[in-house]
Structures are given as C-alpha cells and as structure tokens.
Structure 1
Amino acid sequence: MKAHPSASAPFGTDDIVRLHASAATNEPTRTDRTEPNAALARLLQAAGGLDIKPPVSPVVLSGTVRLIETALLGATGVLAAGALRFPSVLVSSIITLVVSLLAATLWRMLRLNSLQVLRAPGSAVPRQIAVLGGLCSVSAILLWLAGYGGPTSAMWLSTWFGSAAFALSTERLLVARFVRSLTRRGRLERRTVVVGGGKPGEELLDALARQADPDLRIYGVFDDRNDARSPLILAGYPKLGNVSDLVEVARRTRIDLILFTLPITAEERLLQMLKKLWVLPTDIRLAAHRSGLRFRPQAYSYVGDVPVLDMFDKPIADWDVVIKAIFDRVVGALALIALSPVLLLTAIAVKLDSRGPVFFKQMRHGFNNEAIEVYKFRSLYADQTDFTAAKPVTKNDPRVTRIGRFIRKTSIDELPQLFNVVFKGNLSLVGPRPHAVHAHLANKGYDDVVDGYFARHKVKPGITGWAQVNGWRGETDTPVKIQKRVEHDLAYIENWSILFDVYILLITPLALTRTENAY
C-alpha cells in the first residue's frame, strides 16, 4: 500500500540504512544534556527538524470561527434594526440574540465548522444561509403574532438576512484562505509516530494512509526490536530508532501523537515502553483495530476511522491553553504594575548592598525540557554566583549577601520572573518550579533520583506552584524533598483548572510566611 503523499517517508531505503549504520558506529559520549548526539541529530532530521512552530488547535480554530460568526449575526442584526428604526429596541435585541445563538448551534450540529469544511467554504455557505433564512422566516411569523408585523419588520429581517449572508460569505472566504495557509505551513498537522512494527504496524500504517487525512502526518516508526520483525522500512515509512530515541526526538522536535500497535496482551512490553514515554507532553494512544477485545463504541476515540484507546492525554490543551495564557499575561501585567515599587526598591537595595549586576540569569528546564533563561534578583556575591547550580544554597551560606538573605526568605528574588511570564511567555504564574538545567543531588541528576521526574515538564513551569504552597520550597538536599516536589507537581498537572491556579495564587502569600526551608 502506497503511503499518503503528506505522510511519505523523508528518506529512501538506502538513506535509512546509512542513517542506522552511522547511529551504530558514531555515538559520541554526551557531557551536556542539552545537546543531542550525532546519531540523534540524524533522527531529528528524519522527524522534521528542530525549527517546528507550535500547532494551531483545530478545536480553538473552529471555536473562534463560531464566535466570530455569532458576533457577525448579532452585529448585522443590531445595525439593521438601528438603521431602519425598528419600533422596539428590546424586541429586536431579543430576536437578534436568539437567532444568532440558534444559528450558531445549528451550524455546529451540521458540522459546518470542521477543518475540512473551513478549507472549502463552497458547500458550507449555502447551508449556513439556508439555516439563517429559516430562522428569519420563523422570526417574521413570531413578530406578526406579537403585533409587530408590517413593512418595518419585513424590511428589517430582509436587510438583516442580506447583510448577514454577505458578511458570512466574505468571512468564510477569508477563513478558508487562512486555514489553507496554516495547512501549507504545517501548523494544523498532527505530527505522528508509530511505536511497534511487524504486521500490526504495517496494517495500521496502511489503514491511516487509506484515509488521506491532510492533517495527519506520519514521520516513521520506533521499535525496540532489532530482528526481522522490525525492518528499516515498514509500509513505506522509515524506522527512526527505538523508544529511548523517541523520547529524545520528542524533546527536540514537535510530536503530537504517539500510536502504539502492540496488542493489549503484550502487557509487560507495553508497560516498559509507556514508562519511558508518559513523561512527554504528547497524546499517547493504543491502536485497537486488531484487538480481539470489543468494547462499547463510546469506549474508543478515533484517529480518522481507526479506533484507539486513550492511554495518556497532553495536559492543558486546546481552550485551556488559551485561557491559561490570557490569565498569565493579564494577571502578570497587573502584578508587575502593582509590585513595581517593590521591584524598584529591591533593585536599589541589591545594587547598594554589593557590587555586581542587579539581576541574575540562569538556564532552567522549561516546558518539555526546553532550556529557558529565568530572571531573578541577584542574592549571591557577584564573584560567587553559581550559574550551573553546582552547589545548592544552604543555611547560613556565606555566598549569600545581606539583602540576599531577606529576599530569598521572602521570595522577593523571584519577582523578576514576572518578566518571563508577561514578555517571554516561557513561564506561567502557577506551575512546577523550574529547576536549573544542571541541578543535581549527590552527583546524580534529579531524573536519576526520582522516577518520572521529567513528567513535571509536561506543562510550563511557574513562579509559584502546588508544591511550594504545601511547604516544599527552598533547598532540595534530600531525595525525599525532591520526591515530594514531584508528587505535588504531578498532582497539580492532573487536576489543573483555572480556579486551581487562582487558589494557589491566593494562598501563596500565606505560604511565604513558612521560611524554614528557604535560605
């Protein structure tokens, strides 16, 4: 079965053979966790490269179009009523609101906001206009029964219908151009890889290729096996590596969906792979097209027509991302304004207390292990500043300045991170606290101390978090402290809501009064 063009393998058979031969013979030792080795760099090239922009959520896109169209209906209705001086502003406003909401609801039921329809408006616009015409006709009857029949009502509804039909047609043409542009740039792609080869993997790839879904792009296969059951080319797609390689690739480039082809009966092998992959901010699904078990249809979700079982979902997705981003920027900007006197006075105090810069910048782990530069007020003497967190600050640490002790205990040193939130967008107000890239405990990285440590990076880090307000802030000098932080961070991720963020922000000042672990 020939793969769909949009999902075709980026390399030929000879290229894949050379890639794997090079990976087997050219495996330099990594001393810097932020740099991929040469073999993984080639795998990244096969998976689409590093410079991949974030996706545009189809849910948010279609929802935004629905909001725009509802607003267009309401605006044209109100303007028409005002221009023709409809006798009752209240009646015209009520009818405009009800018709707008009913039309938006019916269009959604008819699936007129799906991506496929948005790309090709020719079939959607006539149905939209037909629905609007029916609702305007019903409105005319209701107005007549209510005693508002006559030339003015008829003229208002006719003008509203005509102007709304023109506005909707124009808007759909503009939306179609925009959606097609996003499609060409890969912003609507669901970048997908398959885990597991053999016959099940081949059948899954063929089933997905037959659907010719322009938004599903398959980059290849990852499989831990290295025998005849795991060839370098499967159904026209390359084998890019094993599951450990997939973790590295997903850290370096955007992977939106991981599809497992393993049978449910391969429980032990499935669990071993999931243990490595669940830390990624990626949807993970188990293909059920070959399963002997049969569940109710509602138990499945679908990738095209292929039934899948949901293993893990990307946390904080679709509208939640938009809501959290708006909340962070708005509340963060207000906090910057309100706290500007504190920021100014602290900057002056830091400068007068010791020589050196006011701010301290350090590389820390951000979303999906991305290295981000985080701002703080400098609290250590400039010649003893520890950019790599090689030696954590301890109680009575002589490296800490006089002002530094106060601003560390009160967490005032963290306030410049509001600039990260408002201007850079690589921090949230609330989330797991970002640790330094090279932070360690007893010569071990935190990921070696706590199993599943990197799962806390499935969301953006924050200035404050659930762990911090529960007392797990400050020095992390024991495995228990790191474990507790991670446990609270994962609980936050699993139970996130915007109200949860508000609650954490409100109790953060109270939590800051507990300074026993803050040095």
Structure 2
Amino acid sequence: MIKDNQKYFNRMHVVIDAVVTIFSYVVAWLLRFRTNLFGIPVRSLPFEYYMMALVLIVPGYLLLYYGFNLYTPKRVQGRRLELANLLKANTVGLLIIILTLYMIKQEHFARSMLFIFYGLNVVLEVIVRNIIRYALRKIRRRGFNQKHILLVGYSRATEEYIDRILAFPEWGYTIRGILDDHVTAGTTYRGIKVLGRIGNLMVILPENKLDEIAITLGLNEYYRLEEIVALCEKSGVHTKFIPDYHNIIPTKPYTEDLMGLPVINIRYVPLSNTFNAMIKRVMDIVGSLLCIILFSPVMLLAVIGIKVTSPGPLIYRQTRVGLHNRSFEMYKFRSMEVQKPDEEKKAWTVKNDPRVTGFGKFMRKTSIDELPQLFNVLKGDMSLVGPRPERPFFVEKFREEIPRYMVKHQVRPGMTGWAQVNGYRGDTSIRKRIDHDLYYIENWSVGLDVKILFLTVFRGFVNKNAY
C-alpha cells in the first residue's frame, strides 16, 4: 500500500538530475584539461569561467528535461522512450550552448569539453535512471510499492483497463477484483474475478486495504455514479473514473472549472495554450530563417532549372485551408506546365502525370518544390511541423467522409508532419494520415517537433509517393 508521493519523488528527481549534470560537467573539464584526452592544444580559459557557465546550464537542462517529459511517472514511461527523450534533450542542450558561444563570439571555450560533457551526461543519466527503476522494481516485488485497485462496474472500459494494466506490470498496479450487479460472481476476465455486487463496497471499504477505486461502469449505469463516489469518498480511498465512451470520445478529454461546474472538453490541444503556441512560433521564426539561409543555394538552382526547362512563373501559388479554417496562399516552386485555374483545382497529381515537367519530377521527389513554404512559415500561415494543408475542394469533400477531419485545422498546417515521416504522404490513405495528424495535435511537445524534424531529414525529403 502506498501514498501518492509522486510530487515529492519528482522534486527529488530534479535534484538528482542537477547533481548528475554538475558532476558530468566537472568530470568533462577534468578529462579535457587535466588529462588532455584528445591531445589537442587549446587556449584555456580560467576554471572559474567554465564553472560560472553552470549557473545557466543546470537550470537550462532541467527545463529541457521537463519539456521532453522526463519527469513523467516511471509507472507509465518505458525505458526506450526515456532514453530517446534524454538523447533529444541533451542534443538540444548541446546545440543551444554551441550556438550561444558562437553568438557571443567566444572562441576559447573548448567545444571538445562540451562533447565529453554530452556523452558523460547521457550515460550517467541513463545509469542513474535505470538504478531508480531497478530500486522501484525491487521494492514492488516486496509488496511495498504496489497500488491495489478495485474495479466497480463491468464494461468495455473494465476490460480495456485490465488489458493495459496486465500489459505493463512495471506500473506496479494490482487489481484485486471487480464488483458488478449484472455479472455473476466468480466470472473472470484474464484472471481477474468478479467478487460480488456493487453493494459489497460498504463491507470492503471500511477494511482500508485499497489504494484506489476505479469506477468502470457501463454507460447505462451512470446514474449510480453519485452514490458510488459518495461511498468511496466517505472511506477516504482515492477514486478515479474510467469512462465507457471510447466510441464517442476516442481521444484525450480534459476538464476545466467553470465557477464550480466541471466542464469536459472533448479534445486536449496543447497548442491552445498561449505559452506553448508562443514557444512553437519562436521555433518557427528562427528555424525558417536558418533554413532560408541554409537552402538558398538549392533554391537558386531550382529557379534556374525551372526557368530553363519550362516557360511560366517560378512560384506556384495555391489556395489551402489553414488554422481556424482560414484560407491562405501556399507557395511552391512550379513543377507543372502552366494550366487553367479550373483544370487544376479538383485533381490530385497521379503517377506519370503528363502535367509534371521533367525537372518538376526531380523537385517533387526530393521535396525541393516545397522550400518556398519557408516564407509561409515566416509569415505565420504555416509552421515547420504540423498537419499538411489541403485545398478547399478536398476539405469540403473529406469533412463529410472522414470523421474528425476538421480537427486538424485547430493548429497551423506544417511543411512536414507526423503523418509524413511515417510514410503517409502523396497517394496514401487519408484516414491513416488523419489518425497521425490527430495524434500529433493531441500529443504536441517541443520534443515531438524536434523528433519530426530529425526524421524528416532521414525519411521526409526523398519520397516514393511524390509524383
């Protein structure tokens, strides 16, 4: 039996991470300047100068760890996901430090030491976090870190909840049984027994042997919620509600307090938060400016190639639907012969499309034709990462055919997205694409954006489905 000490555990974890970061940094300095690990002569700055940098590095790294979800309870975060988030957070941290040194024109701060620090910090963080996991598992094996749960009500939600608990034993949950008025006592689901009727709560709760009650009533029994919650709260046992409306609200709802009235919002969109939206916009502005500078030689070659191979304008403007269903002009390098407006409005490009020029095929395959959208990002019509925007004709068509299609317009459209890096680009399933777009919208984080941008480099530029 345990109490909910996650808040205190997280505070302890922050302190541990701060200690590991400081230790890794100091050891990196010692390895670089006391052993000269690389054998590279360097004009050394005073030791105090390097240590002063920790005043910014430590809180900066802790913020990155928070941003990359590294303080999620270990009951629900796997090792591989934690390792990926650690690598991403430390990589971003290293890049920020190097960029800062470049901007302040500090040439004598040893970059090699920073790379040693990067490697040490990742390795030590992985070791420390695995020691914590191992310790928690040992404690759970002895029965000290288990949450004992009783389920009230038998429904689809009951079975789905049991499936997940059994699939992830490292979460440390033990289901003691189920109470239900319509299923015979002794009936089992994956080894979990129906113990009796819901009225038995009055006998079970006073024994005080449970950490949680999970209410998993069927939709037709919701009238009993008030009665059951009152019983549970009278006993002081933590109660949670697992709704049986997976087919109605298949995503992550959240509640807000409206002067004491709880209001359930059907969909959680992190980018509706002003701070999150501001962070993403800053990333878009900085990222698009850097990419415009970086890819300017490629864009110049594209301009020459279009001009030489096909008469007509260099830039093709097309109306797309973006944030809050507003239309905007999206820019692309022209990859087709010039057409009449009414001919291209209602047709997708297909394989071996005769309208595409020879140079246009090359641009489409390598995504060079998409580069002018960096200016859309700079203007605020688009983001570097987000659901791909569609033409108004197709938006009207899909909104009637595909459930939840219009949800994608709750965020800015992107140059690349979760669907694209998972292979759903060009002539692929629209439904699968929307599923991936919804996942992105509901699970947005700085870490996810960085992951998609990295994957775009390796998976997104050259595309077999781009015609």
Q: TM-score, normalised by structure 1?
A: 0.41
Q: TM-score, normalised by structure 2?
A: 0.45
